[in-house]
Amino acid sequence: MQIFPRQLNFLPLVIGVLATGGLVITVGIFWYYFSPKNLQVGYQPEQPVPYSHRLHAGELGMDCRYCHSNVERTAHATVPPTQTCMGCHAVVHPESARLEPVRESWETGESIHWVKAHVLPDHAYFDHSVHLAAGVGCVSCHGRIDEMDTVRVVEPIAMQWCLECHRDPGPHLRPRDQVTNMEWEPDEEWARTGLEQALAAVNPPEHCSGCHR
């Protein structure tokens, strides 16, 4: 006498298919939704001082290098010291309540604790000066910073994203004197001769030691 129906012979197969399908779906969800594109892009930390890039870099037209003065010479863009802020705000809105942390920093010598928006892992190496010297514009990585009241991450700062640029740097190159110009657009002369010369002058590494040292 048969106790269990014959259809139960397919039960292990059904369980195996469902388990495999569930595993694939779970991996796919984590692969997509937990990628840097979804975890990093849009990150917009609140700063101790409400500094507006839209005002300073946009409306006032301040060059990025006025505050990030070492960006062409060192690996890090560096956050401007309080002295840089007070160079203007000792006379511009000197009593503003929003600038109280800046005045306090100036008087005490204690640094302002800015919150870093673009964070690279410790095992990755990135040199700002090399990229600017090659003609990579600030906007390629940071977006239209001159239109942001509060800085936010607009690109996934991840290995795949970096490699895509290293394999095809052309769209991100521009004349070196235009690297901080957020509104620069390539013209016919650049497309005809400038880009070719710029590409000939760069050799972006695609091997591991380029970024992992």
Q: Which residue has the higher pLDDT, 30 or 86?
A: 86
Question: Which residue's structure tokens are 């095809």?
Answer: 168
Supply the pLDDT for residue 30: 62
The tokens describing 80, both together, are 């401007």
The 10s digit of each residue's pLDDT in 143-186 is 999 999 999 999 988 899 999 999 999 999 999 999 999 999 99
List the domain boundaries for the chain: 9-38, 40-79+117-210, 81-113
Q: Which residue has the higher pLDDT, 6 or 74?
A: 74
Confidence of residue 114 (pLDDT cuts 50, 70, 90): very high
Give the whole-number percent of the chain exceeding pLDDT 90: 74
Structural contact between residues 112 and 60, judged by C-beta atoms closer than 8 angstroms: no
Supply the pLDDT for residue 36: 58
Phi, psi of 173 (to 5 degrees): -95, 150
β-partners of residue 173 are 136
Mean pLDDT check: name the lowest of 8-12, 61-65, 196-200, 206-210: 8-12
Q: What average pLDDT does the segment 186-211 reach?
A: 94
Question: Which residue's structure tokens are 């509104």?
Answer: 183
CA atoms within 13 A on the CB side of 101: 11
Supply the pLDDT for residue 32: 60
Supply the pLDDT for residue 92: 95
Mean pLDDT check: name the lowest of 32-41, 82-91, 169-178, 184-193: 32-41
Structural contact between residues 92 and 190, judged by C-beta atoms closer than 8 angstroms: no
Supply the pLDDT for residue 35: 54
